Every structure is written in C-alpha cells, then in structure tokens.
Copies of this chain bind each other. A is one copy, B any other.
Amino acid sequence: MATTSGNQNADDLILSSDPHHPANQICTLCAHFYTLGWVTGTGGGTSIKRDGRIYIAPSGVQKELMKPTDIFVVAEPPRPLDEAQEPGRRGDHRSMPYLRRPQSLSPSACTPLFLAAFTRRGAGCCIHTHSQWTVLVTLLLESSASPDVFEIQRIEQIKGIPASYDRAAGNLGYFDTLKVPVIENTAREEDLTESLEQAMEAHPNTYAVLVRRHGIYVWGEDVARAKTICESLDYIFRLAVEMRKLGIPWMAS
C-alpha cells in the first residue's frame, strides 16, 4: 500500500506477527468494539501510544474489517498541541507530521482528541465510541438541572473506575459518586478538542468525557485499562437508561 513519509519503510511501523503490536491490537479491538455496538457504520475509533509512537485507526473505514495497513502512525509530540503548533494549525489532523499515512485513507478527525489524552493525561490508549447508551444518557441530562455532568452512585460497577490519577488512590468505592463530564457536540469532530481539554482541567481525575448526542472518549494507561474502564462506563450508562425507564433515580436519596 502506498504511503507517504520520510521513511521508505513506513510499513515496518505496522507489520508485525505479534498480536500485541499496536497495529494488530487496534484491529482486534475495533472488531470487538463493533460487536458491542460502539463503532457502528465506521463511527468511533481507537488509538494506542507506545514507545514514542501513536497508532491511529483511519476515518471512514468499516472498523470490524480494518487491517494493520490501514493504520496511521504519528510521533508522540513533545508537549501539548497548543504549545507545539502554530496558531490556527492547533490540532489540525490533516497537517500532522505522520510517520505513516496510507494514501487511500483519511486521517481520523479524532486525532487531536486522542493526542490530548496522550499528552495531557499520559494515557497509553484512548477509545472513542458512539455507543447508544452514551448518547441516550447525554440526551436525558440535556433537560436536567445539571446537564454538564453525569452522576450516579451506589452501583457496584463504579468500582471499575479509577478514583484519580494517583494510582495509590485505587478505584472508586461503592459509596463514592461517579462523575463523568459532558461537553457539547460541535460541527467538526476536531473542534471538540478545546472543550475536551477544558473538561480534563475541570475534572482532573476523570478518565472519560461524554460528548452530547455523540458518544464518549475514554482513556487509560494501557489498552487493558482503557478498555475495562470503557466497558464499565458503558455498562453503567446502559443501566442508567434502564433505570430511567423504570423510574429509578440515579442518585440514591
């Protein structure tokens, strides 16, 4: 497959017989996420950062059929994008310095959002889903007194979510309240970057940001952590929707 990069051997970046190589792992994850309803109709995406390189699923491909040769690769930026890039080019995924860029595919508009998780949160994996439960929860919040944060308590599964970025703090406890910030959707996915970063600042311990009428971004130190946090959150959002149908409040009174 034709690619553009300074490196003639850009395919070396993504071809490996190791199933845990990021390029293979993104394909396996996306095929699995398809079965969970997270990346229907080419929606959603996944990115892994490892050894100074960032591997990203392309835009507009059938996620369950993706191949390693479809993967884009970028060098890890030295610092957050708003410092590293010129004004007006901030977070522009079309002008990234790609180490590998498949010519027939478009880079993902999620790219600057994935980079925010990697540079500002030290994440090793970031998952973006269009799960219907995330969309429905943000729709239910829209007309509530507190539209910008999802809150639930006393559900065992919240113990699957880290309490903070301090690993010593462990995960949330059963009597803690899970809070997930919600940002408003924008016309272009890349324009979410600024409000995503603001939500990260305002909620320094969160591992996820919901996007109203759109989906969610979830990250973690590595693939296993990002995936299990994303699964636990999705379980909770689905449960929350069912609770609403049955008239059960999210916050125990």
Contacts and interface: CB of A to CB of B under 8 A. Distances in A.
Q: How many copies does the complex hold?
A: 4
A84 interface: no
A154 interface: yes
Interface residues of A, number: 45
A49 to B, nearest CB: 20
Contact of A227 (B62, B132, B174, B215): B62
Interface stretch (A94-102, A196-204, A229-237): A229-237
Nearest to A133: B242
User: Interface residues of A: mostly helix, strand, loop or mixed?
Assistant: helix
A72 to B, nearest CB: 19
Given A213-B155, A227-B62, A139 B246 contact: yes
A92 interface: no
A22 to B, nearest CB: 17
A185 B157 CA distance: 12
A173 interface: yes
15 contacts: A37-B235, A41-B229, A62-B224, A130-B156, A130-B235, A132-B235, A132-B239, A136-B242, A136-B248, A139-B248, A140-B248, A154-B185, A156-B185, A156-B211, A241-B242
Top-4 shortest CB links A-B? A41-B232, A156-B214, A41-B231, A41-B160
